[in-house]
């Protein structure tokens, strides 16, 4: 007797999982190890594997098996049903965009990426504009086709690729609440922080020692160095698959914290991936539940756990051990003040927890208008600059610090930005529940113990894989629906701590 | 109008080339970068890509296109005709072995490799024997099927996979000549070298400095570090594709020369690959002409160029510069004596130029007997040990230093060993012609100039890709057929230099 349609599908998706892992390694190598002149060769390898992956996923065989498995789903357990659902979802996404459009997009974005780099270096938006126009027009076509196939609005269809189940309505609700409170909160916090004196933490911190510190902390957190690596790259990222996870950061010898917190942010992603259900490791239901939840896990570790007093309590003796620092600027309160400093700044990736969402709100607004035609590409720089002025009260001196700073649009990633801000909101909702259920959490963290933290996350988040939607997972883990209110409360509590206005409230 | 069948084939093989490059990178990473615990994950990725590669290469579409292109070959230029021939060759090899046998072999060899490692560590052949029996039996089946399909004897069919066009008759002729002269030559050389006093070159050589020296010499040779890397691994190897070549070596801080000469051996492979015809880079005819020719290029650089007086003349000042060495043991004559020292030793990969072929002759003899049933696997250790005693006059103290030392049989690579010795023979034939045509070669090398050397090799060897058979290429480059005589003359001239017997001859 031959295997059931469902079991045959599992075999097919196991193969696709291996392809994904190979593709991920090719990308990791390109960013970390590859000689600079070899980008053309790598491009051909990635294109060949991606084309083949797409062909396998959209083959008539998979469609046939999906239909037959669906018709015989009565004997399947809940994980298998969810797996079948995710298989169908991946296939539906892949088949909705015709191969011709995919290759047009691949060519247009690879040209646009090169021109974007050039334009950013020279601060000349005009070099990039025609390429962005082409990408926007192709993404518009893709969004329309995806939307038709998935029965979603065009922009919702794009979001669904990155964060399944999240809708424009979810985003609007959350973003409205953020834009209502954040601007005034930022003013209050900056004025409060300005009123307090804190000492500069500076020095020379050799990258080798920074790396040793990061490794020590990652080990304490539970990152498995026999099945993962920490390397350096221009921007921090996480690639690989559970079983071979590759995390990167970049070390700045004048700044001790940026490399460390970059590594810890990525370790948050890695721990999510490592906590995915091992028995479903090579199946669609065993994957992460999209970018918003991914980002919630990196931000939870970086912002909520590591930029906290208990973590700084654990960290300070390690700074003494690794760098031999001494003096009052290295005491817990001063270091804590340093890692929670709020500033109005132009660059998203350098922004703090409080101003960061405003960077996202701007991009969300602009990318929707670019796609629906309300905003012409040539008007983007002006729209960007006045948006920054309006939201953050600062204006970029050049497009390099403005609308040319991010790679996302050049490579066609529209609908991705919202997940960063949603991730921050979700992180706080999860952490509220976690704190109420894990007793003695702060004391554990202050001792460098993270097992209580990750036991809860594995049970309620990581171990669920893609079995539930984000909304279902959040409800199951916290009893509540997605809401910006806990995030705002968290920011007020953390950043207005000790202020008269709060004390009076 | 759609593309011609031939042009469509070029597209298909371009895709296969990209797959090969991806597979090569996955193997490089596994040996150089991968965390130790991730071997299972990598195994699945390699298997998935190899299966897909095999499926693409043996698809009905390729077969159909090959037939149609063959029928319309009149308009093709010679390179295209040769390309079509190589496409057919690759497809015929791939299709001759049924998928079921390929996967049986994959499973058997992956088990055997694990057991071989274990057996070697414990010096216990009995742990490995049943697995080797299984592999031998499957390889026997494969050889029979390949032989039928290619109209070759079973062992010739295996050789054809590694070194197309080389036959058992070629090997027998060369190996007979070697076994006639080498044993007595080794005796003469060792007694001559023993009669001369030479000073020990020893010291501590930090790996970082060894690396800097290797990089400086590789740059002088022309290795492009913007399109290639040098890393460290347990055994030296070369992976990647032209455009992204990855060379490895291992540095022993007590031995300055092993890491350097390992890197230079691999640089010989890399320079061959880099010199392949760029316009055929992603086509079968643009590949190297098999393992015997590959090995000829690594040995030509390591043995003929780098273990020579002119090269040592170039090297010695670099040793002073990088390590600050001084004293009479570091003069050219003493260093030259050191890198041409001959010793009877048990381990093939550590053997010198003179004894090395005897290690190969033994393996060739034994693997043929294992395959045709003359030798039972259980009798291999005895046959090995008496073979070593007979050929080299030394007997392994354990199987770890004997028949368990090489990985080849465990992973099913029967028919591979002869290419090592053939490579040495071909290298000398090529170098004889090269020396007669490049004037002032020794002076160039002594100055660290390698452009004359590689211009000749590119024209006569590298740039030919797989257009000619090994025999045709050798004839075109040297005017002569494959023969062991120049190799024997070269060894006599180099290693008996200044001896009375030669002076008298």
Q: What is the pLDDT of residues B86-131, one digit of tens each?
A: 999 999 999 999 888 988 898 899 889 889 989 999 999 999 999 9
Report pLDDT for A235: 86
Report pLDDT for B1: 55
Check: pTM over 0.80? Answer yes or no. Answer: yes
Residue that has been written with the tokens 């916090």 in this structure: A189
User: Can you tell me the distance from the alpha carbon of B172 to that of B353, in angstroms, rounded to the nearest whole number?
Assistant: 20
Residues of chain B with C-beta less than 8 angstroms from the C-beta of A14: 44
Instruction: Give me the residues of B, 193-252, that contact A with CB < 8 A.
Output: 224-229, 241, 243-244
User: Can you tell me the distance from the alpha carbon of B258 to that of B256, in angstroms, rounded to the nearest whole number?
Assistant: 6
The answer to whether A25 contacts B26, with C-beta atoms less than 8 Å apart, is: yes
Mean pLDDT of B412-426: 97
Residues of chain B with C-beta less than 8 angstroms from the C-beta of A226: 35-37
List the single best residue of B22, B50, B274, B283 to mutate versus A (max A Cβ within 10 A). Answer: B22
Residues of chain A with C-beta less than 8 angstroms from the C-beta of B25: 25-26, 29, 45
**Residue B266 designated active-site:** yes
User: Can you tell me the distance from the alpha carbon of A231 to that of A375, in angstroms, rounded to the nearest whole number?
Assistant: 40
Residue that has been written with the tokens 């393996």 in this structure: B363
List the single best residue of A20, A42, A44, A230 to mutate versus B (max B Cβ within 10 A). Answer: A44
Report pLDDT for B114: 85
- Is B26 in CB contact (< 8 Å) with chain A? yes
Which of B18, B35, B45 lies closest to A227 in CB terms? B35
User: Can you tell me the distance from the alpha carbon of B158 to that of B145, in angstroms, rounded to the nearest whole number?
Assistant: 10
Catalytic residue among A86, A239, A266, A353: A266
pLDDT above 70: percentage of residues in chain B: 99
How close B472 gets to chain A, by Cα (Å)? 31
- Residue from A502, A505, A496, A504 nearest A195 by CA: A496
Q: B202: which DSSP letter?
A: -
- Nearest chain A Cα to B12, which residue? A48
Which of A25, A226, A243 lies closest to B29 in CB terms? A25
- Is B281 in CB contact (< 8 Å) with chain A? no
Residues of chain A with C-beta less than 8 angstroms from the C-beta of B243: 37-38, 40-41
Which of A17, A35, A41 lies closest to B229 in CB terms? A35
Residues of chain B with C-beta less than 8 angstroms from the C-beta of A15: 48, 51-52
- Nearest chain A Cα to B41, which residue? A243
Which run of H or E residues covers position B228?
strand B228-232
Does the pLDDT of residue B502 top 80, yes or no? no
The answer to whether A35 contacts B225, with C-beta atoms less than 8 Å apart, is: yes
User: Can you tell me the distance from the alpha carbon of A161 to that of A145, in angstroms, rounded to the nearest whole number?
Assistant: 13
Report pLDDT for A501: 54
Report pLDDT for A197: 84
Low-confidence residues of chain A: pLDDT under 70: 1, 500-505
Does the pLDDT of residue B503 top 60, yes or no? no
The answer to whether A29 contacts B34, with C-beta atoms less than 8 Å apart, is: no
Report pLDDT for A454: 98
Does the pLDDT of residue B81 top 90, yes or no? yes
List the single best residue of A40, A43, A208, A243 to mutate versus B (max B Cβ within 10 A). Answer: A243
- Is B19 in CB contact (< 8 Å) with chain A? yes
Burial of A60 (0-12, 13-18, 19+ CB in 10 A): exposed
Tell me which fold the domain B207-346+426-483 belongs to: 1.10.1370
- Is A37 in CB contact (< 8 Å) with chain B? yes
Burial of A504 (0-12, 13-18, 19+ CB in 10 A): exposed
How close B45 gets to chain A, by Cα (Å)? 5
Report pLDDT for B8: 97
Burial of A240 (0-12, 13-18, 19+ CB in 10 A): buried
Q: Identify whether the C-beta of residue B159 lies closer than 8 Å to the C-beta of residue B168.
A: yes
- Is B22 in CB contact (< 8 Å) with chain A? yes
Report pLDDT for B212: 98
Residue A82: CA atoms inside 13 Å, Cβ hemisphere, count?
17
- Nearest chain A Cα to B45, which residue? A18
Q: How many CB atoms lie within 10 A of CB B187?
A: 12
The answer to whether A45 contacts B22, with C-beta atoms less than 8 Å apart, is: yes
Report pLDDT for A505: 41
The answer to whether A244 contacts B51, with C-beta atoms less than 8 Å apart, is: no
Per-residue DSSP letters for B10-47?
HHHHHHHHHHHHHHHHHHHHHHHTS-GGGHHHHHHHHH
User: Can you tell me the distance from the alpha carbon of A249 to that of A236, in angstroms, rounded to the nearest whole number?
Assistant: 4
User: Can you tell me the distance from the alpha carbon of B73 to that of B94, in angstroms, rounded to the nearest whole number?
Assistant: 23
Which run of H or E residues covers position B318?
helix B309-323
Residue that has been written with the tokens 């996870």 in this structure: A245
Return contacts of B490-497, CB within 8 angstroms, 24+ apart.
B490/B304, B490/B428, B490/B431, B490/B432, B491/B182, B491/B185, B491/B353, B491/B354, B492/B185, B494/B340, B495/B185, B495/B189, B495/B192, B495/B340, B495/B342, B495/B354, B496/B185, B496/B188, B496/B189, B496/B192
Q: What would you report as the CA-atom Rg of chain B, rounded to the nearest whole angstrom?
A: 23
Residues of chain A with C-beta less than 8 angstroms from the C-beta of B52: 15, 19, 52, 56
Question: Which value does ipTM take for this structure?
Answer: 0.92
Report pLDDT for A198: 87
User: Can you tell me the distance from the alpha carbon of B399 to that of B89, in angstroms, rounded to the nearest whole number?
Assistant: 38
- Is A24 in CB contact (< 8 Å) with chain B? no
Mean pLDDT over each residue of chain B, to the nearest integer = 95
Q: Identify whether the C-beta of residue B35 lies closer than 8 Å to the C-beta of residue B16.
A: no
Give the three-class secondary structure for B232: strand
Which of A21, A47, A225 lies closest to B41 in CB terms? A21
How close B244 gets to chain A, by Cα (Å)? 5
Helices first, then strands: H and E counts in chain A: 21, 3
- Residue from B253, B207, B204, B206 nearest B230 by CA: B207
Does the pLDDT of residue B501 top 60, yes or no? no
Catalytic residue among B266, B302, B367, B492: B266
Report pLDDT for A1: 55
B208-258: per-residue pLDDT in tens? 999 999 999 999 999 999 999 999 998 899 999 999 999 999 999 999 999
């Amino acid at each position: 007797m031959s295997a059931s349609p469902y079991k045959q599908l599992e075999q097919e998706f196991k193969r696709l999982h291996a392809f994904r892992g190979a593709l991920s390694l090719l990308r990791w190598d390109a960013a970390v190890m590859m000689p600079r002149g070899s980008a053309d060769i790598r491009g051909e390898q990635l294109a060949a594997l991606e084309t083949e992956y797409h062909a396998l996923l959209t083959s008539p065989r998979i469609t046939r098996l999906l239909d037959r498995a669906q018709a015989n789903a009565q004997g399947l357990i809940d994980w298998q049903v969810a797996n079948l659902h995710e298989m169908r979802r991946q296939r539906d996404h892949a088949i909705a965009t015709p191969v011709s459009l995919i290759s047009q997009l691949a060519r247009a974005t690879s040209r646009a990426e090169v021109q974007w780099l050039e334009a950013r270096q020279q601060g000349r938006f005009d070099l990039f504009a025609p390429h962005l126009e082409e990408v926007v027009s192709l993404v518009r076509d893709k969004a329309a086709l995806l939307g038709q196939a998935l029965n979603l609005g065009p922009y919702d269809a794009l979001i669904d690729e990155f964060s399944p189940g999240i809708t424009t309505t979810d985003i609007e609700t959350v973003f409205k609440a953020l834009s209502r409170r954040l601007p005034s909160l930022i003013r209050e916090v900056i004025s409060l922080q300005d009123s307090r004196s804190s000492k500069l933490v500076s020095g020379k911190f050799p990258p080798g020692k920074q790396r040793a510190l990061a490794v020590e902390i990652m080990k304490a957190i539970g990152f498995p160095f026999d099945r993962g690596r920490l390397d350096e790259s221009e921007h921090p990222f996480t690639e690989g698959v559970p079983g071979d996870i590759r995390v990167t950061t970049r070390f700045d010898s004048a700044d001790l914290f940026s490399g460390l917190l970059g590594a810890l942010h990525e370790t948050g992603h890695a721990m999510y991936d490592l906590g995915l259900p091992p028995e479903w490791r090579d199946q669609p239901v065993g994957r992460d539940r999209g970018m918003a939840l991914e980002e919630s896990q990196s931000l939870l570790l970086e912002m909520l756990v590591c930029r906290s007093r208990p973590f700084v309590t654990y960290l300070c003796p390690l700074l003494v051990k690794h760098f031999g620092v001494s003096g009052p600027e290295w005491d817990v309160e001063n270091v804590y003040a340093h890692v929670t400093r709020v500033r109005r700044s132009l660059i998203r990736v350098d922004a703090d927890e409080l101003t960061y969402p405003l960077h996202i709100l701007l991009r969300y607004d602009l990318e929707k208008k670019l796609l629906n035609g309300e905003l012409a590409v040539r008007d983007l720089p002006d729209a960007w600059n006045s948006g920054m002025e309006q939201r953050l009260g600062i204006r970029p001196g050049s497009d390099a610090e403005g609308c040319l700073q991010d790679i996302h649009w050049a490579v066609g990633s529209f609908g991705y930005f919202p997940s960063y801000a949603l991730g921050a909101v979700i992180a706080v909702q999860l952490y509220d529940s976690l704190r109420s259920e894990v007793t003695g959490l702060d004391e554990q963290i202050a001792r460098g113990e993270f097992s209580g933290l990750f036991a809860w996350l594995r049970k309620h988040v990581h171990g669920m894989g893609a079995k539930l939607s984000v909304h279902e997972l959040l409800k199951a883990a916290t009893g509540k629906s997605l809401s910006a209110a806990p995030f705002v409360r968290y920011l007020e509590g953390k950043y207005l701590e000790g202020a008269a206005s709060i004390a009076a409230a």
